């Protein structure tokens, strides 16, 4: 049922409260789709870097092959490193400023950017650009992009930013157009000696247009093609946070495609687990009532450590048997 619910979505975000098993579910979803012949890009936006731990291999900021299947399916993994992303982003901005500013202003510009690296929103903006790059890569070279996201608050912020930054880029472009018009009038009155500003203005405009288009594309993907898989546990606190997350997703226009209730206790493994199962049943009934229109999948509590390809395959088998 879960795989069927996700078929219309080439981009899937997997999220929920910390500790509910988002990374394991993301990996299992990727593995199940790989078994069906799909090329999957699995991307982690969580600074904890759990993707490498799950697959028991080093996963980098560039695609790393995690698994292949006889059907032709494969999984490439990417762990977005926030520190590397921010450094690369600001280095690129600095080089752009060097090209546009006179040499005497290079040192002040460098000092300004050193302070801006720690300014509110700088980290999120850089991360969002990297997420947009991953979406572009995934849609171009893969059949499916799955994002294993950070805990709820970070994920909501990430999903809301494309709309905000698209508007920001539009505002900058409008202001730039007015500035260029004023400059043209001034040039007709008092000719400038240096013809270079026109070239620099054009370069800045191209940069702003590229950013606007990238953010707008990501905004459209999130609001249209993407689906969100909410992972939770059948416990009061994770369930309460899940309902809040579902409400926020609805407010920002993100499709809640499915809910996964992870690590369900068995009813036939002793009195303690049976009693726990009854308490969990109450939470699941509440979930199915509140989110009655959303497909819900329950995954059992499985023995052992579900890591490495064998462990991921074990969990993937709970979604659906391989088709070939």
What's the rounded Cα separation, in Å, for the pair 110 and 104? 11
What's the rounded Cα separation, in Å, for the pair 231 and 21? 7
Is 293 among the catalytic positions? no
For residue 117, the Cα-to-chain-centroid distance in whole angstroms is 21
Catalytic residue among 46, 81, 148, 281: 46
pLDDT for residue 186: 43
- Give the chain's domains with CATH numbers: 2-83+124-163+209-316 (3.40.50.300)
How does strand 39-44 pair with strand 11-15? unpaired
The 10s digit of each residue's pLDDT in 37-73 is: 999 999 998 877 789 999 999 999 999 999 999 999 9
Residue 75: name the closest of 25, 22, 138, 149 by CA: 138
The 10s digit of each residue's pLDDT in 287-306 is: 999 999 999 999 999 988 88
Give the DSSP letter of residue 266.
Answer: P
pLDDT for residue 52: 93
pLDDT for residue 97: 75
pLDDT for residue 322: 46
pLDDT for residue 197: 52
**SS3 annotation, 123-168:** HHHHHHHHHHHHHHHHHHHCCEEEEECCCHHHHHHHHHHHHHHHHH
pLDDT for residue 323: 45
Helix axes 122-141, 196-220, angle to 10 degrees: 70
For residue 159, the Cα-to-chain-centroid distance in whole angstroms is 8
pTM: 0.85
Residues of the chain where predicted confidence (pLDDT) is lower than 70: 119-120, 165-166, 168-205, 320-324
Residue 46: name the closest of 201, 184, 189, 153 by CA: 153
């Amino acid at each position: 049922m879960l795989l069927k619910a996700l078929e219309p979505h080439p981009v899937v975000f997997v999220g929920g409260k910390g500790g509910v098993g988002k990374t394991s579910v993301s990996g299992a979803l990727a593995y199940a789709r790989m078994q069906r012949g799909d090329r999957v890009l699995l991307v982690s936006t969580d600074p904890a870097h759990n993707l490498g731990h799950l697959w028991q291999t080093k996963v980098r900021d560039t695609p790393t092959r995690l698994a292949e299947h006889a059907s032709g399916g494969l999984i490439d993994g990417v762990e977005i490193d926030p520190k590397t992303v921010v450094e690369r982003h600001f280095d690129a901005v600095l080089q752009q400023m060097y090209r546009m500013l006179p040499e005497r202003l290079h040192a002040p510009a460098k000092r300004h950017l050193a302070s801006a690296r720690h300014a509110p929103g700088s980290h999120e903006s850089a991360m969002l650009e990297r997420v947009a790059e991953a979406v572009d890569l995934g849609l171009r070279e893969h059949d499916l992009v799955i994002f294993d996201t950070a805990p709820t608050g970070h994920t909501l912020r990430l999903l809301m930013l494309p709309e905000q930054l698209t508007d920001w880029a539009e505002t900058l472009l409008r202001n730039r157009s007015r500035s260029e018009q004023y400059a043209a009038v001034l040039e007709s009155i008092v000719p400038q000696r240096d013809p270079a500003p026109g070239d620099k203005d054009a370069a800045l405009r191209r940069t702003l247009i590229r950013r606007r288009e990238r953010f707008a594309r990501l905004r459209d993907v999130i609001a249209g093609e993407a689906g969100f898989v909410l992972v939770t546990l059948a416990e009061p606190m994770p369930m309460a946070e899940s309902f809040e997350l579902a409400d926020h997703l609805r407010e920002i226009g993100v499709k809640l495609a499915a809910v996964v209730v992870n690590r369900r206790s068995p009813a036939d493994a002793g009195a303690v687990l049976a009693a726990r199962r009854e308490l969990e049943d109450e939470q699941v009934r509440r979930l199915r009532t509140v989110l009655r229109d959303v497909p819900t999948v329950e995954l059992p509590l499985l023995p052992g450590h579900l890591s490495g390809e064998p462990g991921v395959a074990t969990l993937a088998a709970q979604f659906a048997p391989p088709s070939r």
